[in-house]
Structure 1
């Protein structure tokens, strides 16, 4: 099957760089499947899971807290605000992040709309992280 190059970069390091058959990314407008030959575009990412597929099944799942993806017919580059393999996310850590994000959002009740929007984005990303977290 045809492949394209996928690169996943977080502020800390390059997490993934290899040919893949398909990737599903959490675009801000909804989950988006990418195959070789996809139309070029740049999309914003929301908090969610990037699923890498090869050989007809999911090979990797990585949580991203947001960022951007640049898509070309032969390459996808994801610039993630934060990226973590799903298997490494603990339920306790995710619950703590949700509580912190909820408190921040509530504290910004009277702040400017753009600050509240950023706080809501962090809260939604934390909830998405909790949804995929393991039971540990």
Structure 2
């Protein structure tokens, strides 16, 4: 039996469908979810969520904060912000990192670093 997965953010629903596995970065470390996983609620860290679809194309997406919930083979990923890794504008992320570092905005710098790491990992 596959997992029923939804990845959403306030901006848009990014992916929904059946998957064989979900891998996410949480504040406690990396987490893999397979069918039959025990129920849990986890706080997401800035990083990539990978969803392996059972049919068709899955997705790798940058998630900047949020929560992941698992119950009865349903995985809900509620992200504060998310974008597909293949949609990340590397030049814009580099510019955002420079600006954040110059202004001393550590949170914005962490998000820009996460965007750059996700973009480089995808290429």
The structure number with the bigger radius of gyration is: 1
State if a TM-score over 0.5 links the two structures: yes
Give the 3-state SS of the residue equivalent to 1:39 in structure 2.
coil
How far the C-alpha of 1:34 sits from its partner, in A, is 0.5
Distance in 2, matches of 1:15 and 1:60, equals 9
Return the TM-score normalized by structure 2. 0.84
Asked if 1:24 corresponds to 2:23, the answer is yes
- Where structure 1 has 5 or more consecutive residues not aligned to the other structure, the ranges are 108-118
Count residues in correspondence: 118
Distance verdict in 2 for CA 1:89–1:18, change over 3 Å: same
Distance in 2, matches of 1:38 and 1:8, equals 18
What is the match of residue 81 of structure 1? 80
- Where structure 2 has 5 or more consecutive residues not aligned to the other structure, the ranges are none
Distance in 1, matches of 2:53 and 2:35, equals 12
What is the match of residue 35 of structure 1? 34
Kept after mapping to 1: 8 A contact 2:17/2:53:
no
Alpha carbon RMSD of aligned pairs, Å?
Answer: 1.9
What is the match of residue 51 of structure 2? 52
